[in-house]
Structure formats: structure tokens, C-alpha cells
A = this chain, B = another copy of it.
Amino acid sequence: MSATETRIPVTLIPGDGIGPECVTAARRIVEATGAPIDWEDAEAGAEVFKKGIASGVPQETMDSIARTRVALKGPLETPVGFGEKSANVTLRKLFETYANVRPVRELPGVVTPYSGRGVDLVMVRENVEDLYAGIEYMQTPSVAQALKLISVKGSEKISRFAFEYARSEGRTSVACATKANIMKFSEGTLKRVFERVAPDYPEIESWHVIVDNCAHQLVKRPEQFEVICTTNMNGDILSDLSSALVGGLGYAPSANIGNEVAIFEAVHGSAPKYAGKNVINPTAVILSSVLMLRYLGLFEEAASIEHAIFVTMESGVLTGDVLGYDRGTPTTEYTDSIIGNLGKRTEGWTIREVKPLELPVLSSAPDYVRPTSRNVVGLDVFVESPLTADELGASLTELAAGTRLELKMISSRGTKVYPPIGAMTETGDHFRCRFIIRENPGDLWDEDVHQLLARVSRRHMWMHIEKLQEFDGELGFTRDQGEN
């Protein structure tokens, strides 16, 4: 492909702080390989927030990425506090880059407690669902709620992606890390879907590991992992854990890949205190550009850069983050050195032969899972109340009299407090009140729900309602601690 005349447009976002230096280094190296890339400069991050654009990403940048379908970017600053969304997350979500890929590999000259053990794994993290959606509500003045949403389709996409990625790099195993033992529906969805699709990749060994044990194993014996597939929030923690095994964020590239668009970026921050001093380590963005070249099918150019990085580092040319800022090679000289080593091959380290990545193709039907039967069998009404559980229970029982629903129990943060079970649960002002249908089996109509709500509203403040559903005879809700 490198011989073709076709030019490939790529959106280039320098970003904040040290971003421009990192991106410039990567761009110079990519250009030195002769890769047929046309860069489109675009803006995002702190300066954009300052202009009052709450997403941190201006329309021109959105348009550029929508056109080029590929972006290479530096770190973007996100104001901490209420209000603005992370610009990084904005880009991932708006372009539906559902797969976050974080390779973690031991590198020459970067000494860590794990040096010599050959750590070489890839974290594949779901990138658009889960708690990262940031859907939150103050339920009461003192109780906050975030929604963790996990879909079967999202889980199938990321599971298949992890297997396909393993295939493209010739890797032989994929582990799935979830907290399915506690969150049987949400985290459990990824576990079940992963186990369902695994047989489609018979040459790849696969297993499930509980996410806390995965963190433990990553510290204890990271060399056991090749590819780890996980949910968004847990993957965030596991990825940053893993990057520390091999020398930190200065060497941590990443790719955000979707069906339409791919965005390549370092995972480090904008480190403003080092900006403009020609001392920073640009390797993470350079390695991200290697991932980008492979995504674009430019395998020779990618391998050439990867070899040159390893040759450079083997020769002891390293930046200040590793050697100390008084002794490190300046950013521009480090870049020059990699360019000078293009065409050389590392002897001591293996550079993978990578094949094209096949993105999974799934049905675009919105009702991806279609049950043959469904019923509404009850209602959880979340109430803010200064009453005790007993008082609230008596009141709600009375209000529900004559409706098709009856109060089954009340819980506080997942533990049953009414009828009392002799527990020492401390209650606050936030109660979940579970009503079930009186006739069993039966199905609830919205009229029944409206009637009950109107009754509850007479005396109590509710702020949140969940229907209790059954799909194909399976309960679509969990029982509480203490509920039988």
C-alpha cells in the first residue's frame, strides 16, 4: 500500500500543554517513512472550552474527523468540577469509537520492577457505555445516583473486537474481566456474551477472571495475559494499572476504534509544567501513530517506526522522564534519533507481524434481542422521606389498598429494611419501595401504574420509578439483600 499514489487524510489535533510537541514528533517521524498522509490540523481542548464551547470540541473539528475518519491527537485538558464534559470522552462518544485499545509492553532501557519478564499485553476496554456515560441524578439532597448501562450489543461488539484484535496480532489468548459475581445483569452481560462468542474463535484460548482478581494478577504475574477484554470503568483502572508495569504513561499509546472512525492518542495528560521546554517524552503519541498506520493498512511504515523506536531506546537514547530531566535527550533530538534509525531493525526485541484487523459486523436492528414473552410484574418506587421504614411501610401499604399492586418490601441502599429482618441497617432519607402485582401470574398495565403513583403522590415524594419486568420468564430485576 505504501507504493500507491492514494493520499490518506488524517485529522491532527495537537491538544494542550505538551500535546503539540508530542504530535509534532509523531508527525515528523510518520512523514519520514514516506507514508502518504495528508494532515488536517484541527483544534480541541482547553482553548475551546475557554471560548464557551461546553464540549471542548468545535464543529470544524467534528467535521474534519467526520470527513477523514481518522484522527491523531495530543492530550486535551478537561476542567475538573461541575459543568464541562471531558473533551476526550466527547470525541470517543460522538464518533462511537466503542473499542479502546491500550497495548502495554516492556521497552528497552525503561527499568521497572517487572523488567525482563516480557510483559506484553493489550487492554481492550469498552469505550462508550457503562458509568462513563455520566448519567447522574441527585435522588435526594444527600443521595447521588449514577447509572451503569451495559448492552448485549455493546458487549458483543467489544468481545468480538477483542478476539479479532488478538487474531490480527497473532495472539493466542483473551481474558474477560468483569464483576459478574456482584453485578449479575450489567457486568454479567459482558461475561455471558463473551462466553457465547468465544467458540467463534476456536484457535484462541479464553477465560473469565473476576476484575479485582485481574488487578491482583496483573501485579503478581502480568506475563500471563495477552489480551484483556473489560467494561469501561473497570478498564479505565486496569489500563492505568497496567501502563505502570512497563514504565508509565510516557510509553502508553492508545487507539479508540469504531465502525466509522478511529482516534489515536496518548493516554497521558497535558503536563503543562513541562510544556515548551523540549524535554518531554513523545513516545506515547509516536506509538499511537504506529497503531494508526496499521489501522490504515500501512504495515511496513508502522513496523519501520516500531523498529526505529526500539533501536533508539536500546542505544540508550532516552528522555528525561526516564533518565532525569537534567540528563535526558531533548524531545527534538530523540525524534531525530528515531528518524535516523528508520530502516534499522532491532535484534534484541520482537516486532509483531500484524495482519489487517477485521471489525465485527453486527445486525443494526434496534431490537437486537427479541423476547418471545414479556410481563410487567411490579414497580420499584424510590421515595425521599423523613419517616422510619416501619412508618413508611405502613403508609404505603395503606395507599396501595384497592390497587392491583401491593407493597412487598422497602430497602435502603440495597438492603431490606421493611418488613424488618433484624438487621442493623442505617437508613437515610432515600428508600426503594417494591410493589408487586397481587394476582400471580399476572401482567401490569400502565393504568395500574398510574393509579398507584397517583396514590403514592398523595403523601410522599418520589423521584425515581423502575418497572419490574420479566423477559421470557426470567426476572429482569435483582432481589435485595434480605429479600426472599
**Stoichiometry, copies per complex:** 2
Q: In this complex, what residue of B is CB-closest to A423? A: B94
Known contacts: A240-B212, A366-B427, A424-B260. The answer to whether A148 contacts B147 by CB under 8 A is yes
Asked whether, in the complex, the Cβ of A182 is within 8 Å of the Cβ of B132, the reply is: yes
Q: Does A4 contact B (CB under 8 A)?
A: no
Which of A21-29, A159-167, A230-238 makes up part of the contact surface? A230-238
Tell me which of B96, B218, B479 contacts A426 (CB under 8 A): B96
Known: A421-B94, A471-B141. A243 touches B216 (CB 8 A): yes
Interchain CB contact under 8 A, A414 and B135: yes
A138 to B452 alpha-carbon distance, docked (Å): 22
B369 touches A476 (CB 8 A): no
Contact B134 A85 (CB under 8 A): no
Report if A224 contacts B (CB, 8 A): no
Size of chain A's interface in residues, with CB distance under 8 A?
133
Is the beta-carbon distance between A467 and B464 smaller than 8 angstroms?
A: yes
B-binding segment of A10-18, A184-192, A302-310: A184-192
The reply to whether the CB of A441 lies closer than 8 angstroms to some CB of chain B is no
Contact A144–B150 (Cβ < 8 Å):
yes
Rounded to whole angstroms, the CA-CA distance of A94 and B147 in the bound complex is 24
> Are B481 and A134 within 8 A (Cβ)?
yes
**Contact A481 B144, CB 8 Å, known A185-B138, A237-B237, A450-B453:** no
A415 located at the interface, meaning its Cβ lies under 8 Å from any Cβ of chain B in the complex:
yes
The 7 A-B residue pairs with the shortest CB-CB distance in the complex, in nearest-first order: A133-B414, A113-B113, A138-B476, A219-B244, A142-B369, A446-B457, A94-B423
Q: 9 interchain pairs (CB within 8 A)?
A: A55-B482, A137-B466, A137-B478, A144-B149, A146-B186, A179-B236, A216-B248, A366-B385, A450-B454
Q: A134-B183, A137-B185, A219-B219 are in contact. List 17 more A-B contacts (CB 8 A).
A: A86-B182, A89-B182, A93-B414, A93-B481, A94-B481, A131-B148, A134-B481, A137-B466, A144-B186, A146-B150, A147-B148, A153-B426, A211-B237, A212-B236, A215-B240, A215-B241, A237-B237
